[in-house]
Copies of this chain bind each other. A is one copy, B any other.
Amino acid sequence: MLEQIDLSKSIDKKEYEEITDDLKIKLGELQRKAWKMEIPIIIVFEGWHAAGMTDVINRFLMPLNPMGFELYTTGEPCVKEMKKPLLWRFWTKIPKKGSIAIFDRSWYRRAIIEHFVKGMHENDMEKCLNGMKFFERQLTDDGYLIIKFFLHVSQERQRERFESIRKKNLPLFLVEEEGKNYLDNYDEYFHLIERSIEITDTHQAPWTIVEAEDLRFATAKVMAEFVKTLEEKIEQKENENEMAHSHGNTNCAIPGLNSSVLKNVDLTKSISIKEYRKKRKNYQKRLVNLQYELFKQKKPVMIVFEGWDAAGKGGDIRRLVEKLNPRLYRVVPIGAPSDYELSHHYLWRFYNEIPEAGHTAIYDRSWYGRILVERVEDLCGRQEWKRAYREINEFEETLSNYGMIIIKFWLHIDKDEQLRRFEEREKTAHKKWKITPDDWRNRDMWSLYEGAVDEMLHRTSTTYAPWTIVESNNKHYSRIKVLETVVERLEKELGINDE
């Protein structure tokens, strides 16, 4: 792909000004239009070291309103970033609707460089590139526009520019170690880069190769390509809006599937208070050691709690963390998204909350809200929650490939038990705040939820992130089953044989 490129292209100063004077005005206009239409835009600049990226980017920025873009320079990861999956650094930086995020080097360069670094988690290149395709497709599915540029220069030209930077005695970050390495191993990198571009040159997020021997030509091409692509996107979105209007709202909830996992759950299971105390003590003690072992082995853990209102999520979580070190775990309660969160892809806020290596995050409700409450209450479009099963599986697969241990609980009670607990809460002074009109409303939609839960358990129970259904009519039984499941799973993952 790169070898066929004709690198001799250039334009003179007069041509450049003629072309770009017009493009600059258009750039500003389109930025304002995208802002109004709430189109989020991601621009990726990749390329050889010393390909002139600094100049091209600065010229590209001049006509843009700084209110609407953010430039991210991607360099070596800091300690915090090294404790998270590669894509975390970029997921957390995706723009909100209407804004532009510009990446000066991106996930591509990091993947290629870190591929060669020993001890990095993600040096399986195939899996890594797949994760990127997931990432980009999930964003474009959600309405994001992704524009990817590769600035291409010959090896000779690169060497020349390098020398001139060196002579000017500019600061090190322009010719840092990684850069020199990049240059010295041109052939090796060339192959990897070419392959990465081929694999990720997708329909949704195609690459544009920019001939960058002449920086005026490169700048003009980048501007023109941006204008063209954004104009197309705007036109497409305008058509979509019309379509949506003429066809009306197709949003509706579908009834529960025929096969049911929930129907077969035995809710009579219980445990004596004596056995409960004994087991609880035992598991909590083992869990303290497991927590330190996770830290030593640098393994991150995500524990998800979903379940009916009043099924005992809070109580189960409290018993789980009671003896733990608060520096190593975090309880993350997930409520309705804020406006700011709503203006991003819905997975964005969950990427912001993933635990770092050696730490545990415990979710009181989670990203499954997309296919539970948001589905049942029509809070998102039918196409959106339909798509979410795949997105969630991809999300968990990507994390699991990185080394994340994922444990998911569905706390199950029946409708009578829920009623008993609601009434008890209303009677007890310091528990009354827990019960709200929402709870009664959700209860009325029990059978719709039942259908959604069944589909969720079927479609998102995977080898890397299986669901555990917890029979929770008996609170003590529920707490022990949670403790037991976590302890046994962690002992298995850590290769510990306790008994």
Is A333 touching B104 in the complex (CB atoms < 8 A)? no
Is A335 touching B32 in the complex (CB atoms < 8 A)? no
Contacts of A339 in B (CB 8 A): 339
Is A326 touching B292 in the complex (CB atoms < 8 A)? no
The yes or no answer to A436 lying at the interface (CB within 8 A) is: no
The yes or no answer to A170 lying at the interface (CB within 8 A) is: yes
Convert A174-193 into 0s and 1s, putting 1 for each residue whose CB lies closer than 8 angstroms to a CB of B: 00000000000000000000
The yes or no answer to A324 lying at the interface (CB within 8 A) is: yes
Is A73 touching B25 in the complex (CB atoms < 8 A)? no
Contacts of A327 in B (CB 8 A): 54, 71, 73, 104, 173
Convert A229-269 into 0s and 1s, putting 1 for each residue whose CB lies closer than 8 angstroms to a CB of B: 00000000000000000000000000000000000000000
> For residue A333, which residue of chain B has the nearest CB?
B67
Is B335 touching A338 in the complex (CB atoms < 8 A)? no
The yes or no answer to A437 lying at the interface (CB within 8 A) is: no
Contacts of A65 in B (CB 8 A): 333
Known: A170-B292, A171-B296, A327-B54. A333 touches B29 (CB 8 A): no
Stretch of A10-18, A55-63, A394-402, A414-422 that contacts chain B:
A55-63
Convert A322-346 into 0s and 1s, putting 1 for each residue whose CB lies closer than 8 angstroms to a CB of B: 1111110011110100111000000
In the complex, A364→B430 CA distance in Å?
A: 50
The yes or no answer to A273 lying at the interface (CB within 8 A) is: no
Convert A210-237 into 0s and 1s, putting 1 for each residue whose CB lies closer than 8 angstroms to a CB of B: 0000000000000000000000000000
Of A54, A58, A326, the most chain B CB neighbours within 10 A belong to A326
In the complex, A453→B332 CA distance in Å?
A: 46
- Output the least CB separation between A100 and chain B (Å): 14
Convert A282-301 into 0s and 1s, putting 1 for each residue whose CB lies closer than 8 angstroms to a CB of B: 00000000001001100000
Contacts of A338 in B (CB 8 A): 340
In the complex, A131→B171 CA distance in Å?
A: 32
The yes or no answer to A492 lying at the interface (CB within 8 A) is: no
Contacts of A66 in B (CB 8 A): 331-333, 364
Contacts of A340 in B (CB 8 A): 338, 340
Contacts of A62 in B (CB 8 A): 318, 322
Tally of chain A residues near chain B (CB < 8 A): 43
The yes or no answer to A1 lying at the interface (CB within 8 A) is: no
Is A25 touching B430 in the complex (CB atoms < 8 A)? yes
- Output the least CB separation between A335 and chain B (Å): 7
Contacts of A364 in B (CB 8 A): 66
The residues in A between 407 and 455 inclusive whose CB is less than 8 angstroms from any CB of B are 430, 433
Convert A79-110 into 0s and 1s, putting 1 for each residue whose CB lies closer than 8 angstroms to a CB of B: 11000000000000000000000001000000
Q: Which residue numbers of A lie inside 8 Å of B, CB to CB?
A: 25, 28-29, 32, 54, 57-58, 61-62, 65-67, 71, 73, 78-80, 104, 170-171, 173, 292, 295-296, 318, 321-327, 330-333, 335, 338-340, 364, 430, 433
Extra A-B contacts (11), CB below 8 Å, given A62-B318, A65-B333, A78-B80: A54-B326, A54-B327, A58-B324, A58-B326, A67-B333, A67-B335, A71-B327, A73-B327, A79-B79, A171-B292, A338-B340
Of the A-B pairs whose beta carbons lie under 8 Å apart in the complex, a sample of 21, sorted by A's number, is A29-B430, A54-B325, A54-B326, A58-B323, A58-B325, A61-B326, A66-B331, A66-B332, A66-B333, A67-B335, A71-B330, A78-B78, A78-B79, A78-B80, A79-B79, A80-B80, A104-B326, A170-B292, A173-B295, A339-B339, A340-B340
- Output the least CB separation between A147 and chain B (Å): 17
> For residue A327, which residue of chain B has the nearest CB?
B73
Contacts of A170 in B (CB 8 A): 292
Contacts of A333 in B (CB 8 A): 65-67
Is A295 touching B171 in the complex (CB atoms < 8 A)? yes
Contacts of A321 in B (CB 8 A): 58
In the complex, A326→B66 CA distance in Å?
A: 12
In the complex, A331→B325 CA distance in Å?
A: 42
Contacts of A318 in B (CB 8 A): 62
In the complex, A318→B63 CA distance in Å?
A: 9
- Output the least CB separation between A222 and chain B (Å): 14
Contacts of A25 in B (CB 8 A): 430
- Output the least CB separation between A217 and chain B (Å): 20
Contacts of A57 in B (CB 8 A): 326
- Output the least CB separation between A165 and chain B (Å): 11
